[in-house]
Amino acid sequence: MLNVAVVQLHPLENKAANIDRAEGFIRVAAAAGARLVALPEYFSCYGRAVSPVSVAAVYGEAAETIPGPTTERLQALAHELGIHIHGGSFFERRGDALYNTNVIVDPAGDVLGVYRKIHLFEARAPELTYREESAVTPGTEIVFTDLEVDGRSTTVGQTICYDIRFPELYRVLVAEYGSEILFVPAAFPRETGRDHWELLLRARAVENQAFVVAPAQWGEQADGSWLHGRSMIVDPWGTVMATVPDGEGVAIASLDLDRLATYRQNYPNLQNRQPDVYSSSSKEVV
């Protein structure tokens, strides 16, 4: 069994305070037995009005390189506690580009996987207008990472928030790269989150026969908008194993990876795919 924890945060404008608070919850999770702890999207710096201007001008100032202060903090903490940490996401500076990036750190303090968000959020509705690509550069690489936890190997797929609306990404992570756990750190708006968040997470879990680990931001932003929260862990049957209610906090679940392997063998959905048919049909449509 692999004990996994999701941390739900309400990051405000003070980056140092946000990271301190995240560390506190990581320690709580580790003390409760979690061997892998996951943080939300933009866990170190958020809280301002959600607009491209604030992302570029305010959050851009908080962006870091990898390695950098935030990754080094996570590395030291993972090494001290002897756990894996999934670093949600933060603003990464690479040359002139700004990325929405997450990392996985192992108990030795090594950075194992670095994923840059591929699908950037866009909304044009009256109640929610936003275009993440106005300030953030999309990633171009699908990232999966092999972990060794307590003598058990597992492969995890790294995604971020809006990626959840693109099932083809998750299919590749599972069917082609063998991911057993899918990470979805998020800062989902309340407007879409209340109807779609749990629905999408459970769908990705069921159709890919994988565990979904989804830590999220919660709370009111400076412009009066709200983030949905409801961090959760979902099993391959689509059952919500653990969730965090409104407010900051931690939820923990034990993932039975051996049972997952048996489940995939008994119900070989992934093996029954017909990618050649899908490919030819797509070409005909085009």
The tokens 């979904």 sit on which residue? Answer: 212
CB 222 within 8 A of CB 54: no
Q: 148 has which bridge partners? A: 153
**What does each C-alpha distance from 48 to 59, 64, 173, 220 come to in angstroms?**
9, 18, 33, 10
Would you call 45 a catalytic residue per the annotation?
no
CA distance 188 to 192: 7
Would you call 15 a catalytic residue per the annotation?
no
CB 86 within 8 A of CB 104: yes
Among 15, 23, 41, 64, which one carries the catalytic annotation? 41
Interacting residues of 237 by C-beta distance below 8 A, sequence separation 6+: 205, 206, 263
Among 161, 180, 198, 248, which one carries the catalytic annotation? 161
CA distance 173 to 242: 23
Which residue from 146, 213, 254, 219 is spatially nearest to 7, judged by alpha carbons?
A: 213
Among 15, 64, 92, 117, which one carries the catalytic annotation? 117
Q: Could you list the active site residues?
A: 41, 117, 161
